[in-house]
Chain A
Amino acid sequence: MESPKQQSSAFSRELAANIEDFIAKLKRGELQGSKTVALKTANLMRHVVADSRWDHAETLKHLLKTVGRRLLKAQARELLIINIVCRVLHIVSEAAPQINSGKAAASTALAVDSGLRGAETPAMGLGSSSMSSRNLADQVSSSLLRAEANLYHTKSDIISEINEYITEVECAEDEIARNALDHIHSSEIILTCGRSRTVEKFLLTAARKRKFHVIVTECAPLYDGHEQAKALASPNIEVVVVPDSAVFAIMSRVNKVILGTHAVMANGGLIAASGTHMVAAAARHHSTQVMVCAGLYKHAPSFPFDDDRFNTLMAPDAVLPYGDASLVGAVDVVSPRYDYVPPDLVDILVDDNGGHLPSYIYRLQQDLYDNANDLAWNIPDQ
């Protein structure tokens, strides 16, 4: 790996300062909320593309990866950074196909020389079909493209793609909310857990046409369920706030559980606010449908091989106030921020394109990310 000095020479002073600033904010934990982190990371990535020196998509990808690694080092548990960096890497490979297929084009040339048509000697074996399906015409035209590749155009293409992506992240909630009327029916009783802007938009959109009840769990120790209840208050929604301990008792009356989440893993599992697993388990016990609203930017291209790797601990003050001096010294208080919810407790995941089964998520992610490479990339160096 390059030393920080070497890589910083590729960045302008302003960009380097920008990166440092972002890293400092991450380290201090100033950035909260998946959307904020996602947007900030995407903006930084755009800045890297626009304002650093590169003459080749591979160089750019390398730069993005080094920046991504530094961000991850600052906040290793933040999945959203991985998502955004991987997505931007994917955008770069899509926007610069000539670089990507440079190797393939070269081998085509060789194959043609030896009297074999390159497109007709695809690699044998599964998983190589994407290579073989790229026909000769594509390869030739892409190599031509490469010859006249205009770096300036590539750059502005990539930037406009990233801009589009940023808009997509910004509007994710509205897009998801467009599905609301398909899922929420009149006079249903819906249970939700804590504060989620995506769920708020979703329910409020449905409330324009339908009348229903919403039960909000207060989600101790943050108690952000109160905030959610306030946000949901509207003529068509009757909101009830219940303590977390009442979830199981009340579940038998609930028609549907609608949850927000921090991130969605590749197997369809969730990294969601602590307390969500309990709600999902109670719903399973009562065979209540569990629906999860999550924008595509929350999809993380990794598998939960370690339940604790993506969790963080919050200040325990909310659980046991520091004022209780006699107790504070005597007990360990732990207040985790997230729960891992296994995919078999989730019935449907709703994103911008509609509903998906948890088992379909990894497939969806193949379109979003250069999957295999990304996985190898975000596994921390052992």
Chain B
Amino acid sequence: MTNPGSDSGNFDIVEHYNGLLKENSSISSPVAAVDSLVKMIEKQHATTMLEFMMIVRTACDKLKKATNNSISLSAGCDVFLQQMARLSHAQSVDECRKALIKAGADFVQGAGRCRDNVADFGSPFVRDDQTILIHSYSRVIMGLLRRAVKQNKRFRVYITESRPDQSGLRAAEELHQLGVPCEVILDAAVGYIMEKVDMALVGAEGVVESGGLINKIGTYQLAVIAKAAKKPLYALAESFKFVRLYPLSQYDLPTYRSDLLSFKDKAVAKVDWQAELARSNPMLDYTPPEFITLMFTDLGVMTPSGVSDELIKFYLD
């Protein structure tokens, strides 16, 4: 990759990003992305605005390319780029850099509050004696349920196993520690269990402009079943996960690869189906907005159509 005339070359942004995620499991990838970008601009000495902006853009592209799950990461990068565009009217590069570092650091600090805010807005929806279905492991859902436990609410939770990484087990373990009665169900048992459920909660990898969401595979089918059973489905997401995408189908996602679930070559004599399963299955799916009852975000409770409003407010400001 070309590195236009600066010594930011000795700072590996991808390494920093991965290191952040590894050492702190509670940090979300958009926040880690902004943090990495801040560290990066601290270390480089561009002298013209154009050069400065180019370095930041290259770094964003580098980050996006380096990870296979780029959706929520790109939300962080976009927020950073938008901020840079706003600040680019500053008199000098140094001033812009300083302002950007400050804004970025504030953002990273404030991000911790986001999950608390979601819990503030969402916890009244959890009531005594409810049965809740959650999908996969999501930190923001955990935050909300932890808050509800602190408010002495008594509820039960069904958690989907969420293949292939079985992240549901982790959620079950955490809830068990909190003393919440919980049960892990097979992904295929969502339809079976829906009748007993009062509401479904899902997190989001990214919330898109239409108000739909991109999340761990299985969210879409859960949403369809919840809608068919007329159960409310609430999506939880911090506002920095709002991304400027408008997928029209499952295959519009940036994570889509043409080798996902494409039929095998007939000529191959023996196929290891077990190995194929993990290799050729997608990890994310897209849930259209009509399946989402409400969204709990740190900006408040909103209908899915509120997402595009917020995105427009931020990006067209």
**Chain A positions near chain B (C-beta within 8 angstroms):** 115-117, 120-127, 129-130, 132-133, 266-268, 303, 305-306, 359-360, 362-363, 371-372, 375-376, 379, 382
Question: Are A382 and B151 interface neighbours, CB within 8 A?
Answer: yes
Mask, B67-111, CB within 8 Å of A = 1, is 000000000000110010011011000010011001110110011
Bound-state CA distance A126–B308 (Å) is: 11
User: What are 10 of the A-B contact pairs (CB < 8 Å)?
Assistant: A123-B110, A126-B79, A130-B313, A267-B303, A359-B305, A363-B305, A379-B124, A382-B123, A382-B151, A382-B152
Size of B's binding interface in residues, CB under 8 A: 44
**A259–chain B nearest beta-carbon distance, Å:** 21
Question: Are A129 and B103 interface neighbours, CB within 8 A?
Answer: no
Q: Tell me if B278 counts as interface (CB < 8 A to partner A).
A: no
Q: Tell me if B181 counts as interface (CB < 8 A to partner A).
A: no
Question: Are A123 and B103 interface neighbours, CB within 8 A?
Answer: yes
Query: Contacts A122-B86, A305-B125, A375-B121: A363 and B309 contacting too (C-beta < 8 A)?
Result: yes
Contacts of B83 in A (CB 8 A): 122, 124
Q: Which residues of chain B (103-162) have a CB below 8 Å from chain A?
A: 103-104, 106-107, 110-111, 120-121, 123-125, 127, 151-152
Determine chain A's interface SS by DSSP, over half rule: loop
Instruction: Kindly report which residue of chain B lies nearest to residue A308, judged by CB atoms.
Output: B127
**B75–chain A nearest beta-carbon distance, Å:** 9
Question: Are A363 and B301 interface neighbours, CB within 8 A?
Answer: no
Determine chain B's interface SS by DSSP, over half rule: helix
Instruction: Kindly report which residue of chain A lies nearest to residue B302, judged by CB atoms.
Output: A362
**A247–chain B nearest beta-carbon distance, Å:** 21
Query: Contacts A120-B90, A371-B300, A375-B121: A125 and B317 contacting too (C-beta < 8 A)?
Result: no
Q: Tell me if B306 counts as interface (CB < 8 A to partner A).
A: yes
Contacts of B107 in A (CB 8 A): 123-125
Question: Are B300 and A372 interface neighbours, CB within 8 A?
Answer: yes
Most chain B beta carbons < 10 A, residue from A124, A130, A362, A375: A124
Contacts of B300 in A (CB 8 A): 371-372, 375
The listed residue (B110, B125, B152, B311) touching A125 by CB distance below 8 A is: B110
Question: Are A376 and B103 interface neighbours, CB within 8 A?
Answer: no
Q: Tell me if B314 counts as interface (CB < 8 A to partner A).
A: yes
**Chain B positions near chain A (C-beta within 8 angstroms):** 34, 79-80, 83, 86-87, 89-90, 95, 98-99, 102-104, 106-107, 110-111, 120-121, 123-125, 127, 151-152, 239-240, 242, 294, 298-303, 305-306, 309-311, 313-314, 317
**A327–chain B nearest beta-carbon distance, Å:** 31
Bound-state CA distance A126–B306 (Å) is: 12
The listed residue (B79, B87, B125, B299) touching A120 by CB distance below 8 A is: B87
The listed residue (B104, B125, B151) touching A124 by CB distance below 8 A is: B104
Extra A-B contacts (12), CB below 8 Å, given A122-B83, A126-B299: A120-B86, A120-B90, A123-B107, A124-B34, A124-B79, A124-B103, A125-B314, A127-B299, A132-B86, A303-B301, A363-B305, A375-B301
Question: Are A116 and B125 interface neighbours, CB within 8 A?
Answer: no
**A98–chain B nearest beta-carbon distance, Å:** 24
Question: Are B124 and A305 interface neighbours, CB within 8 A?
Answer: yes
Contacts of B124 in A (CB 8 A): 305-306, 379
Question: Are B294 and A267 interface neighbours, CB within 8 A?
Answer: yes
**A362–chain B nearest beta-carbon distance, Å:** 6
Bound-state CA distance A267–B306 (Å) is: 11
Question: Are A127 and B239 interface neighbours, CB within 8 A?
Answer: yes
**A288–chain B nearest beta-carbon distance, Å:** 21
The listed residue (A115, A124, A130) touching B106 by CB distance below 8 A is: A124
Query: Contacts A120-B87, A122-B86, A376-B120: A133 and B317 contacting too (C-beta < 8 A)?
Result: yes
Question: Are A372 and B299 interface neighbours, CB within 8 A?
Answer: yes
Question: Are B310 and A116 interface neighbours, CB within 8 A?
Answer: no
The listed residue (B90, B121, B303) touching A359 by CB distance below 8 A is: B303
Question: Are B103 and A116 interface neighbours, CB within 8 A?
Answer: no
Bound-state CA distance A379–B125 (Å) is: 11
**A35–chain B nearest beta-carbon distance, Å:** 27
Contacts of B317 in A (CB 8 A): 129, 132-133
Nearest first, the 10 A-B pairs at minimum CB distance are: A124-B107, A126-B239, A127-B299, A305-B125, A124-B103, A382-B151, A126-B314, A129-B317, A121-B99, A372-B300
Instruction: Kindly report which residue of chain A lies nearest to residue B127, judged by CB atoms.
Output: A306
